[in-house]
């Protein structure tokens, strides 16, 4: 008697394969902190799981930003050990945060890794010495005085104003004065070409679904 093989639909063949792959790549990695004995919220695949405070679980807790594991440390001695004594092992930021691959933005300090970061930081450090910062104080105070004057003017007229826009203009004025050596006064003149082009260069929509998906699942 010949044995007949019953035809199995392709869908029923793929389902267990997909289930196994989902477990291996989306579920099993979420148990890394449990295996290490690190407390934290119960993770869910693809979600930001940081809904438990440090006071609930202690000075160290683990959570997942999408599929990326992250540790939160609040113990002062442990932080001193990491950021001072063992800093040479923790010089890099989260590697998947290096999202910008366009020069010169890709050469910003927080985008760099390892020796590149160290070389650029060594070059920049003299610009932020105490003597250099004291030299910038006058320019920064001038911008701050303008900010206070603008707020006082709104208070006198009882006119509403956009706090974010005004403080953003103040920040722009400080950067222009201290770094580029130019006075733009974007608090009074928001249409200044310097301010307009600076805003265009950093006009990233972080509410975009594509940005959200990248942050959630890229690792």
How does DSSP assign 36-71, residue by residue? HT---PPP-TTSEE--S-HHHH-SEEEEEETTEEEE
**pLDDT value for 69:** 83
Tokens 């407390």 belong to 39
Largest CA distance in the chain: 101
Question: pLDDT per residue over 76-87, tens digit each?
Answer: 899 999 888 988
Cα–Cα distances (Å) from 94 to 74, 154, 200, in that order, read 18, 42, 26
Distances from the Cα of 76 to the Cα of 16, 64, 83, 85, angstroms: 47, 23, 10, 13
pLDDT band at 146 (very low <50, low <70, confident <90, very high): very high
Residue 145 clears pLDDT 90, i.e. is over it = yes
Mean pLDDT of the chain: 80
The answer to whether the CB of 41 falls within 8 A of the CB of 193 is no
Segment 30-64, tens digit of pLDDT: 888 888 888 887 777 766 666 666 566 678 888 88
Per the rule left: phi > 0, alpha: psi between -120 and 50, beta: everything else, 78 is alpha
Distance between CA atoms of 187 and 168, rounded to whole angstroms?
Answer: 9
């Amino acid at each position: 008697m010949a044995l007949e093989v019953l035809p199995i639909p392709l869908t029923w063949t793929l389902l267990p394969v997909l289930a196994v792959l989902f477990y291996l790549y989306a579920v099993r990695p979420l148990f890394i902190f449990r295996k290490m004995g690190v407390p934290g919220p119960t993770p869910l695949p693809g979600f930001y799981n940081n809904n438990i405070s440090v006071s609930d679980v202690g000075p160290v807790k683990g959570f997942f930003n999408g599929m990326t594991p992250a540790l939160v440390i609040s113990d002062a001695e442990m932080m001193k050990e990491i950021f001072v004594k063992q800093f040479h092992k923790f010089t890099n930021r989260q590697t998947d945060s290096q999202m910008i691959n366009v020069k010169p933005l890709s050469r910003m300090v927080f985008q760099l890794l390892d020796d590149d970061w160290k070389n650029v930081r060594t070059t920049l450090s003299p610009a932020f010495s105490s003597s250099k910062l004291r030299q910038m104080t006058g320019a920064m105070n001038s911008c701050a005085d303008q900010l206070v004057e603008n707020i006082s003017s709104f208070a006198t007229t009882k006119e509403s104003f956009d706090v974010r826009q005004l403080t953003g203009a103040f920040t722009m004025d400080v950067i222009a004065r201290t770094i580029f050596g130019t006075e733009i006064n974007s608090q009074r003149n928001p249409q200044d070409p310097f301010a307009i082009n600076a805003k265009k260069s950093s006009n990233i929509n972080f509410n975009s679904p594509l940005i959200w998906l990248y942050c959630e699942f890229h690792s």
